[in-house]
Amino acid sequence: MNHQDALQEMAVERYLLGELSGASLDSFEEHLFECSECTMDVKAGTTFIDAARAELIAPRRVTAPYIESPRRWTSWLTSPWVLAPALAACLLILAFQTLVVQPRMKLEVARAQAPAVLTPLVLANAGARGDSIPEITAPEHGFFVVSIDVPATGSFSSYLCSLHAPDGSLLWQTTISHEQARDSLLISMPTDRSREGLNTFLIQGLPAGVSSSDTLEDLASYRFRVKIQK
Amino acid sequence: MNFAAFDASYVNKLRSGDAPTEQHFITYFSELILLKLRSRLRNQEQIEDVKQETFSRTFSLIRSEGGLRHAERLGPLVNSICNNVLMEQYRSSNRIESLEDEIAERLVETRPNALSRVISDDTRKVVRRVLDGLNERDRSLLQAVFLEERDKDEICTELGVDRDYLRVLLHRAKASFRVKYSKQAGAKKSDWVFG
């Protein structure tokens, strides 16, 4: 037996397992005594086997079992697949607020706080016919001032002032006291509260001694056109 | 000692009685002779006797007139002398007349620790790591074969493997042990002395 034969036949393993006998045993042992490679392999094998016997007798080291806590229905919230996109979304929102929303708000606040001469849109004399419907050009995120006369007819305890959009939907409403109605009302209207196009202020009176809104009486309707300057 | 091969220089040193060379020679072939004999002799005393006689005759032959002509045949010479001594041992014990399989089988040492030796803690640690890297089936297979010494065919059938699987498992475990041992020991390959 030469070394190549020994490798091919796994002679070292067969020898260690006691599977060789007779001529094959003699042949391998003759090779073994002249081959340092096979000798080292056999020596390593016997050392391993002898030590393994001692180790296999000893109880196997066992680490404390990891007891997985039962999955709750909220466990998906802590999944990396959920947390990572959620964190990214939070960062995105934070960046948008910091870089876009806040500067815009600061600008609007600065504009609102800056002294300015007001030019109110006077609706006091506007007729229902709308031959000359007043028009105002209002800054997109600003405001405009409207001057309205409340017809002080009849005995009303208070008045209701409503702003309606071009489609008739209610945009804004406020109650005006009898005292306030004596003079022209100056209303500071944020442009965002109105709609571009034909808006209508409706003045209604609430008769004295009556609390129900069903008994409101239409007193005046003022139409005006809003143009938003962007 | 840096051992490369059994060459003329090595044999000359043996012949001249060079102590380190003699020690290397005895260390190198002792384990081989013990491995050879433990499957053939039951008695530890007999094993030791045969080993000593083998070495004695080998040294005598090397140092005789003419001596060993081909130094590279030193290994087979030791093996051959050992075989002869073993035959004489059989005859003297009046049990057998040859080295036939069925006779040798009667003398096979069944005790697992016939040649048990002190295994260092380092070696055991390395072996432990190798065993820990095995799956449960492979570990059970090695345990059944080497610790419990059960019939190998029976074990293989029980675990659903064949004899080739067992050989490959041993081959891989042994190779893993050698790699881990060499890393730990940091010794030169030629100077490995497992233990």
**Could you read off the pLDDT of B121-176 as tens digits, one per residue?**
888 889 999 999 999 899 999 999 998 889 999 999 999 999 999 999 999 999 99
What is this structure's pTM?
Answer: 0.54
CA A83, A88, A91, A92 torsion-angle sign: negative
Mean pLDDT of the region A112-132? 68
Task: Give the mutation candidate from A12, A50, A57, A63 for the B interface (greatest B CB count, under 10 A).
Answer: A50
A176-201 tens-digit pLDDT: 888 888 888 888 988 888 889 999 99
Write out chain A residues lying below 8 Å of B109, CB-based.
Answer: none
Q: Is B187 on the interface with A (CB under 8 A)?
A: no
Q: pLDDT tens across B1-16, in order?
A: 455 578 888 999 999 9
**Among chain A residues, CA nearest to B119:** A51
Q: What is the pLDDT of residue A4?
A: 93
Q: Which residue in the set B35, B99, B167 is minimally distant from A42, CB to CB?
A: B35
Both structure tokens of B117: 């030796």
Q: Which residues of A touch B (CB under 8 A)?
A: 10, 12-14, 16-19, 21-22, 26, 29-30, 32-36, 39-57, 60-61
Residue B46 has pLDDT above 80, yes or no: yes
Asked if A50 lies within 8 A of B131 by C-beta distance, the reply is no
Among A34, A44, A55, beta carbon nearest to B131? A55
Task: Give the mean pLDDT of chain B.
Answer: 82
For residue range A18-74, what is the model confidence (pLDDT) as tens digits? 999 889 999 999 999 989 899 999 999 999 999 998 888 876 655 555 566 666 777
Task: Summarize pLDDT for A93-107 with one digit per residue, the tens.
Answer: 999 999 999 988 888
Predicted local distance difference test score (pLDDT) of residue A97? 92
Residue B127: what pLDDT? 92
More confident residue, B112 or A72: A72
| Spans of all domains in chain A | 3-57, 121-229
> Does the domain at residues A121-229 carry the CATH identifier 2.60.40.10?
yes
Q: A217-229 and A135-139: which strand pairing?
A: parallel
Cβ of A43 and B39 within 8 Å?
no
Full set of structural domains in chain B with CATH: 8-106 (1.10.1740), 121-191 (1.10.10.10)
Backbone angles phi, psi at B192, to 5 degrees: -60, 130
Q: Please report the pLDDT score of residue A29 as a whole number.
A: 92
A&B contacts, CB < 8 Å: 120
- Any idea which residue has 């947390």 for tokens? A83
Q: From A41, which residue of chain B is nearest by alpha-carbon distance?
A: B174
In sign, the C-alpha dihedral spanning B155, B160, B164, B166 is negative
Q: What is the pLDDT of residues B162-182, one digit of tens each?
A: 999 999 999 999 999 999 888
User: How far apart are the CA of B75 and the nearest CA of chain A, in angstroms?
Assistant: 4
Subunit contact B75:A16, Cβ cutoff 8 A: no
> Which H, E and C letters describe chain A, residue by residue?
CCHHHHHHCCHHHHHHCCCCCHHHHHHHHHHHCCCHHHHHHHHHHHHHHHHHHHHHHCCCCCCCCCCCCCCCHHHHHHCHHHHHHHHHHHHHHHHHHHHHHHHHHHHHHHHHHCCCCCCCEECCCCCCCCCCCCEEEEECCCEEEEEECCCCCCCEEEEEEEEECCCCCEEEEEEEECCHHHCCEEEEEEHHHCCCEEEEEEEEEEECCCCCHHHCEEEEEEEEEEEEEC
Residues of chain A contacting residue B147, judged by C-beta atoms under 8 Å apart: 52-53, 56-57
